Amino acid sequence: MKTLPIDADQEEIKNLVVEWNELLAQEKYEEALELILHDDTQKIDGKTWVWTPQKLEAAVFTYGLPWFTKADIKRLYGADSRVDYKVTSILNRPDKEKWLETIDIYIYDYAISPEMARTWGITGLDYENIIGDVLFGNVPLDGKASDLSALFWIVKVDEKNITLIFRELHVM
């Protein structure tokens, strides 16, 4: 897991998101999950959702529906439904700065209360160490902006370091 100093600025946090995106663009899903933490506490259909490299890949190729296989998508949404989306690298693009602008970072100037944690659906995480969140809108797919967004928590690992917790990829 990669950490940043507790006083990391927005550029450093954005760079970590870009590093994660680049691993997805290279289809290195396991490495993307190892780079930062991931939220394995959410419930879907009454079962605890645990991120795996296969589920992260499915979240990409199904456009944010990782609980479906390619066959499920075609059966449910039609034989002509796309199931081959790929994340695109943004590092070497001439419009890299435009993409960086789609990464919104919010550092909280308050502590998350137990009531806020319940409202936000934070049930299995140490919400007291969550100090912000990141919304990476328009995740680049197949060379274009998409309406797929990646959500992260910013969390203190200890008194000197922070990292991100990947929450989900979904359509905004």
Q: Which residues pair with 163 in a beta bridge?
A: 155
Residue 62, Cβ density class (10 Å: 0-12 exposed, 13-18 middle, ≥19 buried): buried
Task: For residue range 128-137, list pLDDT tens digits in order.
Answer: 999 999 999 8
**CB 105 within 8 Å of CB 129:** no
CA-closest candidate to residue 27, choices 141, 136, 144, 134: 141
* Phi, psi (rounded to 5 degrees) for 16: -70, -40
Half-sphere exposure of 2 (CA within 13 A, CB side): 17
Tell me the longest C-alpha to C-alpha distance in the chain: 52
Question: Does 152 have pLDDT greater than 90?
Answer: yes
**CB 105 within 8 Å of CB 134:** yes
Task: For residue range 32-64, list pLDDT tens digits in order.
Answer: 999 999 888 777 777 877 888 999 999 898 888
Q: Please tell me the predicted confidence (pLDDT) of residue 93.
A: 85
Residue scoring higher pLDDT (66 or 45): 66
Residue 39 is given by DSSP the state -
Q: Please tell me the predicted confidence (pLDDT) of residue 62.
A: 86
